[in-house]
Structures are given as C-alpha cells and as structure tokens.
Structure 1
C-alpha cells in the first residue's frame, strides 16, 4: 500500500477528481496535518482570549428588601377595580393622564398558610388570562412593629409548564436526531454555560466585548461542531468558515455600532443595568450580542455548504469550478432563505417596540431612527453581510479540499 498508495494520492491531487458516484478516501496525511494545525492554532487563540477576559469579582446589586422573601401560592379569585392615574407611564399618547386606570387584584392562598392575601396585579397579566387555580409568585415583606406581613405581586409561576416544554423538546430531539441530537443538546448546554459563566460576567466587569464574544464563540463552536458532526474534513471546513464569518461579523458590527452611535439603552432592562452597575458599556453588550446571535446562522450555513460540495463531488465528480458553481447554487438559495428568516426573527423580538412606536404614529424615518429598531436593523444587516461573505468562502475552501480526496481503492475502503 505504501508506494502505490502515495502515487495515487499525489496524482489525484492535481487531477479533476474521480468518476461520479465513487466513494472518497480521507484527505492526504499532509493535508490533514495542516488542517489540524490550523484548527489547533484557532482554538488556542480562542482559549487564550477566554483566559485573558475571564471575569474576576462580578459586581452585585441586590434589589431585595432586607427581610423580604419569595413565596408561592394559588390564585383563588380575581376582580377588576379602577383607581386614579398617578404614574407617568399611565399617560395617554397625547401626554395627558386619564381620570382612572385599571387596577386588577388577585386573591392568593399562600403555600403553607391557610389564609388568603390580596395583591394588586399588572393589568397586562390580568388580561393575559390570570384565573383561579393559577400558580403565582409573591414577595413577602415583614410587617412593621410585629404587624402582619405585606405581600406584593412578583410574577406567574411558570416552572411546571417550562419543565414540560423543555422535556418534550429534549425527548423529540433525541428521538429524531439520535446520537447527533444528543450531541447537539450537549453542545447547547456548553454554549449556555459559556454565556452564563464567561460572556455575561466578563461584560459586567467591562472586559473587551469583541474579544469576549469572539473567544467564547470560536471556542464553543469548535466543541459543538466536532461533537455533533464528528472529526472530518467537512466539519473542519464548516468550522473554519464559521470562524471567518465571526471575524467578519465582529468587524462589521464594530463599524456599524460606531457609525450609528448605538448605546444599548433601548429597553428598561438595559437602563437598569447601567443604574445598578454604574459603569457597564452597553455598546459592548450590543457587539457581544450580535456575535452570539450570529453563531447559529453561520453554523447552519457553513455545515450545509461543506456537505453540499462533498455530495456533489461524490455524485458528479468535476473540478474546482464545477464544484464551486454547484455549491454556490445551493448557497444562494440557503442565503436568501436565511436572510429573511433572520430579519423576521429580529422583527419578532422587536414587536413590543414596533407596537409602541405605531401607537405614537411616528413617520417611517423617525421609526427607523429609534434605538430599538436601529439595533435590530444593525443586527440584521451585519448578519446578512457575514452570511454573504461566508457562503462563497466556505464553498471555495470545501471545493479545494474535496479535490484532495481520492476515489476509494475498493469496496472495503473508508470514506
């Protein structure tokens, strides 16, 4: 096998490929070593970035009243009352305060207690279908001078339906995807852990947002892709294409955020973060969020492109031009569908802001200029730019590498 195999390998590396339908053997050893070295360098750089930006002591801002505790209970009844409008957020679109506003209440039997308490409920929660038997979460404040405790509305208790929903998702993913489904869930868990233990704390300690987002994303995708799709040249092409797409995303996001002067203060949660921490640069949060959001998109596209080129080569053969052209035909369709899918996903996320802006009947130009809509437009545009550049790059890399494979020597050869 030694000299003969090497001669075949060398000859094929400069040819047009095997006949259509022939199985392909692994890439030549030198090519595999080169790819492995490149991947290891990329992963080492990502790990170094994670280590360099690993957060120290994360600031804490407790908003819990001393002595207060969270309790749960069951709603036994609800009723609608009216009260005088006094808060700024209760103003009408013309700026005036209405005479009265809705003040719904709920009676709740607290767990471990036979008595019922009455709490004021947000009108949106009441109209959302709050009724007897629903589980809710309250905050219990100790009474003054030994008096009875005071209760305030906190939220609906969603734990049981959420557990059921997630369980169904996991079961169906494993049942349909089998080993790959299980691997994808493991990768999802790793990605969630990276966001929870690296990205979020690092942003709160004001580490460089681009380095944080890139290092975590590159490291996580290396683990996820190889775990889910196995160690192969196709997976490596997809991984390197994803890394290239993330670099493009980072560069485009920095330019776009700077040019549009986005501050990240587009919702109440963002504003609260700045108040509680005092110094978090939310512009960096926008950048890191854009990188994290791009992960799934780029992964989907690069895996598809690599697989498409390999399948075309196995089915039809051909040289670089033919493989690249065939791969791009798949890529254009995928790119088109992904772009509007991403845009609609971001539009769905910004729906509350769209409703509010429509109520104030602002001109289209003013609506687009608002921070909430501008952020979603920037994310959509940056994602589109990254996808548009990643598709041909991944396709070209896949076509170049698949031509390094040679037809299997016989029925027993590996693929």
Structure 2
C-alpha cells in the first residue's frame, strides 16, 4: 500500500520535458551538467561590454543524451534573470534542431527538480512515520487534492467555465472526500464539511462583494498580467480568478478549524454523554475561540510573508498611507486576508452548532 502511494506521489511530482516544433526547427527541453566554464566580456556590447560565459556541457537526458555541446551564456547583470553557472552545475537546456541540421543549445534554467523531489519524499516519509495509518490516508487525500486542482479545476477554468462556481464545487468535493477518508462517514465528518463549506462560501461571497465595490482588477501580479497576454486564445475573467483564488486559499485553514471543532465536540460527548446540546455547543465555542486566535494570525501572516519585498519597498519610499491603502495590489491582499479570516471565524459557531445537534439527535 505504501509503495503504491509513494509511486502515485512521485508520478505527480516528476518533471515532464516537452518537445515542440515549428516550421523551421524542433526544440527539446533536456537536463545537462556543466563541464567547463570560461568567463569573458562581449567587447561589441555597449557600456564597456556585457558579461558572457563560454560553456561546455553534457546532455543528461533525451535524444542527445551523453552528447557534449558548446554554448554561450549571456549575462545581463541582473541577478533576477541571469543564470550564472559554474562547473558541475546541473541546468535545463533547450536544444534547437534547425532545418539545415544545425544544432544549438541554450541554458534556460537551473535544474531544481532533484532537490524538490527529495524534499517531497521527505515530506511524505514524515507523514507516514508520524501518522501511520492516518498518514497513509493523508497521502491519499493529498494526491486527490493535487489531482482535483491540476486535472479538474485548472482545465475547466481554461475551457471558459466560471472560475468562482468551479472553485466552489471543487472545494466542496475536496473537503468531502478528504474528511470522509480521514475520519470516515460519521457525524464528525458531516459537521466539519458543513462548517467548512459555510466558512469558505462566506469568505468567497464577502471577497466578491467588497472586491466589486472597490473595483479590484485581478491584475495585481506579474503572472496575471502575463496570462492576460493570451486572452485572445482563452476567455478569462480576472476578477473571478482573484475571488476563486481567495476561496481556494482559505479552504485549508477553514477545513482545519472545522475538523478541530467537530472532533473536540465528539470527544467531549464521549467523555460526558449527559451534556446537553447547549453545553456541547458552548464547549465547542470555547475550543474554537482558542483556535481562532492562532489561525487568523496564520492566514494574515501567510499573506504578509508573501508580500515582504513589497512592504519593504513601501517602507523605503515612505508613501502616504492613503496612497498605500488605495493601491490595487495592497487592497487585494487586505481583502484576501480579512475575508479569509472572517470565513474561518464563521466556521467555528457553524461547525459547533451542527456538530452538537447531530450528536445529540443521533443519540436520541
């Protein structure tokens, strides 16, 4: 069973290298290792020459495996874009076959997949060792979640389906499957699903309403702007994409809260079956209040952590608070974090109420 699960996860994380072609050339994306590097300057370039590297590399995969090739690696001086290599570095190269038989190789990126794969395997092993049977279920649900996002959610959005409705449906499906696999089909899982769904819907609707009122564009990131350049081939609503992202981003934290509340109430009921619905609800709310303080911080800190460069930029230039709060990118992150936190808070009383009612009704 464990070997089967590991194979599934490894298959999901394995890199797929594409071959693509046009009328004049065929291109392959392959792995390579750097054998030799000679640093120099291009004397024909303005501003006293551009740094370049004369590189000898060995192809490690595909049609040209074990072939040694020479290439020139141009450097712009900007560390955000330069791929400065040294001997024994592993890189991704694009091999171009010209129609006349000539072959070129270009360094396109550092090879990062190996260590990402090692970290992924370590993550799965820790889940299996610490969680045991629950860990196996966690790996299964993680696989299902990745499949749902990569093979259902994203393809449907690209085909033109409404991003908000699609994300809501996929989120509910992920929540139900995850909680039923982890805890079985029982009142605890049903309560957590209802609480999670209510919290996520609240978060999404609130973000949609406020975002529409303050005219958020959804084009607050480089990725969204790049995606807008292919708008002729696919029809994308970037505002809906933004709100769909808010729903999906809040799902994990809200699901965690819903399951924690439902599980706590069930354990309290097992310890003292004589407690009334009102007393069980009050106990669930007490647990929820403790969770609320840390989980809201978790959401806000997660969104803040991803925006540290932007915050440092603002602190350096010291613009007015009015200008900062009214920027699209800042307003988007504020709406994202606050609406997600409100959805999380709503999930607490909703889960506590449903759980206390279902447990007592089941007993009766």
TM-score, normalization by structure 2: 0.81
Name 1:330's counterpart in structure 2: 287
CA distances 1:85-144 after superposition (whole Å, capped 9, x unpaired)? 99xxxxxxxxxxxx6797464724031323332212564269898542121012233458
| Alignment pair present for 1:289 and 2:245 | yes
Contact 1:350–1:373 at 8 Å: present in 2 too?
no
Name 2:264's counterpart in structure 1: 308
Question: Aligned partners of 2:208, 2:44: CA distance in 1, in Å?
Answer: 47
> Any idea what SS the aligned residue of 1:372 has?
helix
Do the aligned partners of residues 115 and 141 (structure 1) sit closer, same or farther apart at CA in structure 2, a change above 3 Å counting? closer
More strand, by proportion: 2
Aligned runs of 1:69-84 on 2, under 5 Å? Answer: 69-75=28-34, 76-77=36-37, 79=39
Aligned runs of 1:254-293 on 2, under 5 Å? Answer: 254-278=208-232, 279-293=235-249
Question: Aligned partners of 2:155, 2:80: CA distance in 1, in Å?
Answer: 31
Contact 1:205–1:280 at 8 Å: present in 2 too?
no
- Report the alpha carbon displacement of residue 371 of structure 1 after superposing the two structures with TM: 2.7
Do the aligned partners of residues 80 and 330 (structure 1) sit closer, same or farther apart at CA in structure 2, a change above 3 Å counting? farther
Contact 2:200–2:344 at 8 Å: present in 1 too?
no
Contact 2:70–2:105 at 8 Å: present in 1 too?
no
Contact 2:69–2:105 at 8 Å: present in 1 too?
no
> Any idea what SS the aligned residue of 2:105 has?
strand
Task: Tell me which of 339, 358, 365 is aligned to 2:296.
Answer: 339
Do the aligned partners of residues 307 and 118 (structure 1) sit closer, same or farther apart at CA in structure 2, a change above 3 Å counting? same
Do the aligned partners of residues 388 and 157 (structure 1) sit closer, same or farther apart at CA in structure 2, a change above 3 Å counting? same
Contact 1:353–1:372 at 8 Å: present in 2 too?
no
Name 2:167's counterpart in structure 1: 213
Aligned runs of 1:111-150 on 2, under 5 Å? Answer: 111=59, 112-121=66-75, 123-124=78-79, 130-142=85-97, 148-150=102-104
Task: Tell me which of 32, 52, 55 is aligned to 1:107.
Answer: 55
Question: Aligned partners of 2:131, 2:333: CA distance in 1, in Å?
Answer: 32
Question: Aligned partners of 1:102, 1:324: CA distance in 2, in Å?
Answer: 69
Question: Aligned partners of 1:160, 1:113: CA distance in 2, in Å?
Answer: 21
Contact 2:292–2:345 at 8 Å: present in 1 too?
yes
Question: Aligned partners of 1:104, 1:291: CA distance in 2, in Å?
Answer: 46
Q: Name stretches of at least 5 consecutive residues in structure 1 with no aligned partner.
A: 1-61, 87-98, 408-415
Name 2:341's counterpart in structure 1: 384
> Any idea what SS the aligned residue of 1:276 has?
coil
CA distances 1:25-57 after superposition (whole Å, capped 9, x unpaired)? xxxxxxxxxxxxxxxxxxxxxxxxxxxxxxxxx
Q: Name stretches of at least 5 consecutive residues in structure 2 with no aligned partner.
A: 1-19, 60-65
Task: Tell me which of 26, 32, 43 is aligned to 1:67.
Answer: 26
Do the aligned partners of residues 83 and 265 (structure 1) sit closer, same or farther apart at CA in structure 2, a change above 3 Å counting? farther
> Any idea what SS the aligned residue of 1:187 has?
helix
Do the aligned partners of residues 78 and 302 (structure 1) sit closer, same or farther apart at CA in structure 2, a change above 3 Å counting? farther
Task: Tell me which of 166, 179, 187 is aligned to 2:120.
Answer: 166
Do the aligned partners of residues 127 and 321 (structure 1) sit closer, same or farther apart at CA in structure 2, a change above 3 Å counting? same
- Report the alpha carbon displacement of residue 306 of structure 1 after superposing the two structures with TM: 0.7
Contact 1:68–1:141 at 8 Å: present in 2 too?
yes
Higher relative contact order (CA 8 A, sep 6+): 1
> Any idea what SS the aligned residue of 2:219 has?
coil
CA-based RMSD: 3.0
Aligned runs of 1:196-211 on 2, under 5 Å? Answer: 196-211=150-165
Do the aligned partners of residues 175 and 363 (structure 1) sit closer, same or farther apart at CA in structure 2, a change above 3 Å counting? same
Kindly tell me the number of residue pairs found equivalent between the two proteins.
333
| Alignment pair present for 1:177 and 2:131 | yes
Question: Aligned partners of 1:66, 1:359: CA distance in 2, in Å?
Answer: 48
Moved more, 117-126 or 207-216: 117-126
CA distances 1:249-270 after superposition (whole Å, capped 9, x unpaired)? 2211211221222222122221
Contact 2:54–2:70 at 8 Å: present in 1 too?
no
- Report the alpha carbon displacement of residue 355 of structure 1 after superposing the two structures with TM: 4.3
Contact 2:163–2:241 at 8 Å: present in 1 too?
yes
Task: Tell me which of 190, 194, 199 is aligned to 1:240.
Answer: 194
- Report the alpha carbon displacement of residue 201 of structure 1 after superposing the two structures with TM: 1.8
- Report the alpha carbon displacement of residue 161 of structure 1 after superposing the two structures with TM: 1.0
